[in-house]
Amino acid sequence: AQSVTQLGSHVSVSEGALVLLRCNYSSSVPPYLFWYVQYPNQGLQLLLKYTTGATLVKGINGFEAEFKKSETSFHLTKPSAHMSDAAEYFCAVSDAGGYQKVTFGIGTKLQVIP
């Protein structure tokens, strides 16, 4: 069984400040890890993903995440927040084989303060 824990359902940062959204996962097999972003009344857009190889993954809009197996973490960061980053962010895990069902966390709503 897989699960994802997102620490902090709401995070507020000032414009220009560091964004850090935390995600810990549990998986009995090597995981594939994802971050998705959702804007109000829209579907989910993939920000970045880790499958194999390099543990530091760069995504769109200046976001990146680092897979740390020893800490079972996949935290999302961005050096400088922009107003347009305000959205809800979901961390997700799927198994590397099988049918690739994705299990999502409950989401973290990011507020950017001008």
| Residues near another protein, by CB under 8 A | 4, 9, 32, 34, 36, 41-46, 49, 51-52, 90, 92, 94, 96, 99-107
User: Closest CB to another protein among 52 and 114?
Assistant: 52
User: Closest CB to another protein among 32 and 63?
Assistant: 32
C-beta of 17: minimal distance to another protein in Å? 25
C-beta of 7: minimal distance to another protein in Å? 14
User: Closest CB to another protein among 20 and 46?
Assistant: 46
> What does the buried/exposed string (b/e) look like for 41-80 if buried means 16 or more CB atoms within 10 Å of the residue's CB?
eeebeebbbbeeeeeebebeeebbbebeeeeebbbbebee
* Residues whose CB is less than 8 angstroms from the CB of residue 21 and which lie 6 or more positions away in sequence, other chains included: 6, 8, 11, 35, 75, 76, 77, 89, 91, 108, 110
C-beta of 85: minimal distance to another protein in Å? 19
